Amino acid sequence: MADLLDRRSLGSADPEAERPAYRPCDHGIGIVHLGLGAFHRAHQAVYTDTALARAGGDWRIAGVSMRSSDIADALSKQDGLYTLLVRGPSAVRPRLIASLGEALSLGRDRDRVLSRLASANTRIVSLTVTEKAYFFDAQRQSLDFEDPEVRADLEAPERPRTVPGLLVQAMRARRRAGTKGLSVLCCDNLPDNGRVVRRVVLDFAERADSGLADWISNNVAFPSTMVDRITPRSIPADIDEASALTGLRDAVPVGCEAFSQWVIEDSFAHGRPAWEEAGAVFVDDVTPYEEMKLRMLNGSHSLLAYAGHVAGLATIGECVGNAVLGRLLPAHLRMVSDGLPLLTGVDYADYASQLVERFGNPGISHETYQIAMDGSQKMPQRIFEPAMEALERDMPVDSLVFATAAWMRYLLGVTEENARYDLRDPKGPSISRAIAGQTDARSIIEALGSVEGLLPGRLFSHRMFVDAVAQTLDEILADGVLPTAKRVADGLRH
């Protein structure tokens, strides 16, 4: 693929695909990215591609696949090049991305990954590793020292498998070699994500060597970010589609929507690419943007995913097209946005209508089952925190109650059509063990309450909230999820 690009001469106009407007080999690697999934390749790698074309710099990316080596292998065979399929409502626009300079797999190339992380040329480590990979215990606000994977890394820090272990090992090497610090840029959907990764890294480092923790505090920046672009997992049909559009054979194309947003706290230790050239917005405080996105976009994604999956609706598009959920969605968005602080330049009503349109994009097929994954890690910031805040301010919580009950119904592991599925959640086995045999809402809630760290104590000691969840869950169990959603939607302000 790279040969083909060179022969066709980079930067020349192409009738079919947008091509990189720079010579990749002119730019060194300055970023190590952990988590080489579709989202990174649809988001940060694309911003970097544009920034390289417009402002240059040694900012290509060494991407690290944290689990399987398939993607890294496929990308290596293509010299890191891949096709982005930008899916609008009626047309697909292909674009070739050249910002990945190297693709590695942690399991196989650990030494190479560590030397990249320790290299003086590396000035940013960015991450899209999913919420659970930080091992952050939200209740204790610290690293989860009890987790077996964390314990294993603490016992053998030179062969790290977890993100905190890997980052600390890299910092140890930098400190030892007298190399300067860098910026760690978390791009996962967690509130205050810079602070979360800083906390787990410092907690891990303190156990190992407190001098190292001080060095990290003084030399490493952890800017927070809000990232957004709907990027369903890739499917085999994407390969033929990409090839038909570009004439190039790409084994790992990525499809995503056209919309993209990146809000970044501007506090980097040793520079950064000119991502603003690609539309990234730099601010002092990302919090209000994160809350808006996590609660409005991700929160309604989760609501639709749980209700939809249980009701047999396979995609977010089907949910939006459903008469009941399609009505509940805007009402939920309005209810949640009523609790958000004013944000200069942002009209929440416009943001909400844009979301409804994005979710309904006929070019995108985003599975409810994919979004339903890892609910124990997602529900707190998407549903529980806005619910807690609304209760404290005496504001309505109806659709948040519904989302909670729909999630609990999902945790039973069987659809209304009796199809069984795996929960795909790090707490899945404990959840299934706890609720086995429970059939009524109260016993289900009580059983879930016994799963360590699953239901936040403050919210679940709120009598009114728990009563409402129990009533809604009983209704779902008796009448079905969609009739219950209809009752909730009917009661809400539209």
Residues that bind ligand CS2 (CB under 6 A): 189, 228-230, 297-298, 301, 370-371, 378
User: What span, in angstroms and rounded, lies between the C-alpha atoms of 4 and 9?
Assistant: 8
- Shortest Cβ distance from residue 425 to ligand CS2 (Å)? 12
Contacts of residue 479, Cβ cutoff 8 Å, sequence gap at least 6 = none
105 with 69: CB under 8 angstroms? yes
CA 159 to chain centre: 26
User: What span, in angstroms and rounded, lies between the C-alpha atoms of 114 and 118?
Assistant: 6
213 vs 230, which CB is nearer to ligand CS2? 230
- Shortest Cβ distance from residue 139 to ligand CS2 (Å)? 21
- Shortest Cβ distance from residue 234 to ligand CS2 (Å)? 14
User: What span, in angstroms and rounded, lies between the C-alpha atoms of 430 and 421?
Assistant: 16
- Shortest Cβ distance from residue 378 to ligand CS2 (Å)? 6
User: What span, in angstroms and rounded, lies between the C-alpha atoms of 104 and 145?
Assistant: 28
370 vs 430, which CB is nearer to ligand CS2? 370
Separate counts of helices (H) and strands (E) for the chain: 24, 13
Residue with tokens 């272990």: 165
165 vs 330, which CB is nearer to ligand CS2? 330
Point out which residues pair with 84 in neighbouring strands. 95, 254
203 with 142: CB under 8 angstroms? yes
29 vs 196, which CB is nearer to ligand CS2? 196
- Shortest Cβ distance from residue 382 to ligand CS2 (Å)? 8
Task: Extract the tokens encoding 394.
Answer: 């005496």
Q: What is the 3-state secondary structure (H, E, C) of 387-439?
A: HHHHHHCCCCCHHHHHHHHHHHHHCCCECCCCCECCCCCCCHHHHHHHHCCCC
254 with 232: CB under 8 angstroms? no
157 vs 375, which CB is nearer to ligand CS2? 375
65 with 94: CB under 8 angstroms? no
227 vs 482, which CB is nearer to ligand CS2? 227
Task: Extract the tokens encoding 336.
Answer: 């949640």
133 with 189: CB under 8 angstroms? no
Euclidean distance between the first and the last CA atom of the chain, given in angstroms as a whole number: 51
73 vs 374, which CB is nearer to ligand CS2? 374
The residue length of the chain stands at 494
- Shortest Cβ distance from residue 32 to ligand CS2 (Å)? 22
DSSP 298: I
- Shortest Cβ distance from residue 3 to ligand CS2 (Å)? 34
- Shortest Cβ distance from residue 66 to ligand CS2 (Å)? 17
Contacts of residue 428, Cβ cutoff 8 Å, sequence gap at least 6 = 422
102 vs 131, which CB is nearer to ligand CS2? 131
Q: b or e along 96-115 (b: 16 or more beta carbons within 10 Å of the residue's beta carbon)?
A: bbbbbbbbbbbeebbeebbe
- Shortest Cβ distance from residue 230 to ligand CS2 (Å)? 5
- Shortest Cβ distance from residue 282 to ligand CS2 (Å)? 19
- Shortest Cβ distance from residue 105 to ligand CS2 (Å)? 23
The H-or-E segment that residue 104 falls in is strand 100-105
271 with 123: CB under 8 angstroms? yes
57 with 22: CB under 8 angstroms? no
User: H-type helices in 147-265, by residue range?
Assistant: 148-155, 163-177, 193-208, 210-219, 237-246
Of all residues in this chain, which one has the CB nearest to ligand CS2 in the complex?
Answer: 301
- Shortest Cβ distance from residue 305 to ligand CS2 (Å)? 7
